[in-house]
Amino acid sequence: MAEGLFSELKKEGLEPDTRVYTEMIGAYLQVGMTEKAMEMYGLMKASGCAPDKLTLTILIRNLENAGEEELAAGVKKECEEYVDYPKKFLEEIEKKYPKRRSVNLV
């Protein structure tokens, strides 16, 4: 359904904004479609929409939770481009949403 609405926007000649892209990214990540989420993130940047703190937080948290450490590290690196005081921003994310640790049960 979300993809349909997104396509409809484009078909009507409307350009999605940061909020729309963020919602699409979040929807893909919620159902485990990491590759589609990253494609949408790429489209977002290519369209001239800058990711905001919410976009970056959603990406980082969900990528880390899915074990996609390399992708999460790439997004963290991009925070330097999109966020004032990226180090502080990343520390706040880590404090608010600590990484889940896996436990190996025997």
Instruction: CATH number of the domain at 81, please.
Output: 1.25.40.10
Dump pLDDT digits (tens) for 22-71.
Answer: 999 999 999 999 999 999 999 999 999 999 999 999 999 999 999 999 99
Supply 97's token pair.
């949403």
End-to-end CA distance of the chain: 42
Supply 5's token pair.
């609405």
The share of the chain scoring above pLDDT 70, in percent, equals: 92
Domain count, the chain: 1
Residue 42 makes CB contacts below 8 A (sequence gap 6+) with none
Is there a domain that residue 9 lies in? yes
**Neighbour tally for 104: CB within 10 Å:** 4
Supply 83's token pair.
């966020």
pTM to 2 decimal places: 0.85
Separation CA 70–CA 15 (nearest Å): 30
Mean pLDDT of the chain: 90
